Chains A and B, each alone.
Chain A
Amino acid sequence: MNNPTNDFRPIPEEDDLVDGPFLPDRQRERPFIMVVTRNGHLSEHVMDYAVNVAHRLSYSILAVHVDTLPFFKDRGKRSRLFAAAMQESAALFGAKADDKGVVVAHLGELGKIGSVVSRLCRSKKRIEFIVIDKGIRLEEVVRQSPVPVFPVLTNKQGLFNRTIFHHSTKKGVFAMSTTSRKRHLKHCFLFGALTAGLYASVFAYQDVVMTYFTKGGVFALLPVATVFAVSYFHGNFTSAFWSALGIEASKKGVAKRTEPAIEIKETVVAPRPDTRPRLQVNA
């Protein structure tokens, strides 16, 4: 577990850490909701869910960031980024919890999700249930956990959907989850070269290309396939190009895009008239 070049140090797992110095005395006896993530940043919808439930049940939250690749071979860069991301995530989570008066304890762990969960559940007695973040397999946790496990599903899930809407004012710390300019530059050169190659090959063999591409019939697929290739390579190149220049989408604009949801009004159903015959007694 010890990596000398690693800035990220897991907090030693002693019982008193979670319900010890982190929490004021009156909180000591509260049960916990354990929120587990293997990402640097915990998804915001998971945070919101956990905070709301904890608020309603008056539980505390134990947020665990598990670095599942502590020995990743990049001279400790990933771990450093993970630690930085975790700090940021913890700050955001803390702010959200403060609004509702919920207590959150943060924990950094190393190793496999399953074993971390199993160890924590056994050492911290009052974990009532576990909420897992995107990227963790449910079975992996369920197998090792003595308490119920819930994933948070949202309609905002998907390949291109962000899990963090929070806009950081500090530059650079967000490197764990968002792309850096260096990566854009790399993409820019890679796809730029591919695009240049494609264009060069078409224009160098103009005559051959034009004879076959304009033959018609089945050959119609040739130009169509070519433009699809162009749209992939050149599309990625141009996208990386503007990003590398620093021209990117507004962070505020992304969140607001549709009209606020229309409230569904429940129709009030009048009670059915009682049509059963009644016996009237006239005394």
Chain B
Amino acid sequence: MHGPINEVIQFIDLNVYTITFLFLVGFIGGLVSGFIGSGGAFVLTPGMMSLGVPGTVAVASNMCHKFPKALVGAIKRYKYGQVDIKLGLIMGVFAEIGVQVGIMVQKYILDKWGQAGSNLYVSIIFVLVLVTVGSFVMRDAIKMKRSKTETETGATLAKRLQKIELWPMITLKTANLRISMWFLVPVAIATGMLAATIAVGGFIGVPGLMYIVGVTSIVASATELVIAFVMGLGGTLIWAYYGMVDIRLVMIILAGSLFGVQLGAIGTTYVKDYMIKYVMATIMLIVAVSRFFALPKYLNELHLVSLNETAVSVMTKMSFAIMCFALLVGASIILASLFKARRLEKMVSVNA
């Protein structure tokens, strides 16, 4: 990310198809991130690249659209009293460090094994993290749904960690807990590292906040938006310094995603707590499947396995399609539960 840019960057021409595609993906991605705190970004980078945008510009523009979206979402959810700003800022700063560490790891792997090795590393991290964390979150969501309790259960680890008095202790008002800084920092750094690797730090950040720090899923997903804002702003400044941001792409995506993020944030006020976990886990698991299909291509390039070209290209296409499907599923669960809850609330207020 810090290296000199030797090649002349080609910025693409826009047409109706590109604009519609970016707007729609922006909207759906925004909807998901307004709801679970992050997401959508993992489809945008490959999506833009498939439109012919150079990789670096795609990553830079994606980063640049992420932080205003996170900002708008965070402000909206702050109005609902769901954001712990202090927690978000502290985590954001350390996540920024995590991003730098993540980039260094990436560079090391790139130097040692080349582009294909780096891609393989990214995909393996994708599958590993998403399957482990996703299934854990899913199990918890199902357990919560079955037990039908209103409050969050579990998080026994978090309860235990909160009891350990290690200087410096931090009191978080909105999250309503007190925990040592030493437990926040690893979560934040892991979030940053994941963000640098797969562009969605929230897949570690939100579960980390829920199970290690012990924040409720609503506050965790809202606070993740603050973290994403800090990380996104830092990243964007660096990318823009090298002149890689295509402002037109960013603005088109933002046009859609701000509609989405508002709706997603509104959605959180209607649904039960486990719904956020449920949507998040669903998306994570489907994306993991999608990345699994991307693995053969890189394995092929490294000559670890030998598959024929057509099979690989079909699998690569399938991988992208499944990724889009993940977002669509997430978005439709959110919209369905939002409108169902609205109908219910209206019926109740009419009867009352």
B267 → chain A closest CB, angstroms: 9
Q: When chains A and B are docked, how far (Å) is the Cα of A217 from the Cα of B241?
A: 5
Partner of A234, one of B233, B245, B258, B269: B258
Interface flag for A120 (CB, 8 Å): no
Residue in contact with A224 in the complex, picked from B69, B80, B176, B240, CB distance below 8 Å: B240
Q: Which of B81, B151, B152, B173 has the most CB of A within 10 A?
A: B81
Contact with A along B252-282 (1 / 0, CB 8 A): 0011001101110110111000000000000
A55 CA / B251 CA spacing, docked (Å) = 58
A203 to chain B, nearest CB (A): 7
Interface membership of B79, Cβ < 8 A? yes
B75 at interface (Cβ–Cβ under 8 A)? Answer: yes
Q: Does B236 contact A (CB under 8 A)?
A: yes
Cβ of A193 under 8 Å from chain B? no
| Shortest Cβ gap from A167 to chain B (Å) | 8
Which of B60-68, B112-120, B124-132, B307-315 is the interface stretch?
B60-68
B345 interfacial contact with A, CB 8 Å = yes
Known contacts A227-B250, A228-B68, A235-B72; decide if A216 and B240 are in contact (CB<8 Å): yes
- Tell me, yes or no, whether A199 is within 8 Å of chain B by CB: yes
Please, which residues of chain B bring their CB within 8 A of the CB of A213?
Answer: 243, 245, 247
Interface string of A8-34 (1 = CB under 8 A from B): 000000000000000000000000000
**Interface residue B248 (Cβ < 8 Å from any Cβ of A):** yes
Q: How far is the CA of A172 from the CA of B262 in the complex (A)?
A: 24
Say yes or no: B254 contacts A169, CB within 8 Å.
Answer: no
Question: Which chain A residue shows the least CB distance to B70?
Answer: A231
Q: How far is the CA of A51 from the CA of B237 in the complex (A)?
A: 54
Interface assignment of B11: CB less than 8 Å from any CB of chain A = yes
0/1 interface trace, chain A 210-225, chain B, CB 8 Å (1 if under): 1001111101111110
A248 and B250 within 8 A (CB): no
A137, B28: Cα distance in complex, Å: 47
Q: Which residues of B contact A252 (CB under 8 A)?
A: 345
Say yes or no: is B326 at the interface (Cβ < 8 Å to chain A): no
Question: Is the pair A247, B151 in contact by a Cβ cutoff of 8 Å?
Answer: no
Is B11 a contact of A210 with CB atoms below 8 Å? yes
- A-B pair count, CB < 8 Å, reads 145
* 0/1 string, A251-273, CB within 8 A of B gives 1: 11110111111100000000000
Task: Tell me whether A69 is interfacial, beta carbon within 8 Å.
Answer: no
User: Quick check: A254 and B80 within 8 Å, CB to CB?
Assistant: yes
Taking CB atoms, residues of chain A closer than 8 Å to B72 are 231, 235, 238
Contact A219-B258, Cβ < 8 Å, known A252-B345, A253-B270, A258-B216: no
**Mind listing 15 A-B residue pairs with CB under 8 Å?**
A169-B349, A199-B255, A223-B64, A223-B245, A224-B237, A226-B247, A227-B247, A231-B68, A231-B258, A238-B262, A249-B80, A249-B265, A250-B341, A252-B345, A253-B80
Given A210-B246, A223-B247, 17 more A-B residue pairs with CB atoms under 8 Å apart are A160-B78, A161-B81, A202-B248, A210-B247, A216-B240, A217-B243, A222-B240, A231-B254, A235-B71, A241-B259, A241-B262, A247-B342, A250-B342, A253-B269, A254-B269, A257-B82, A257-B219
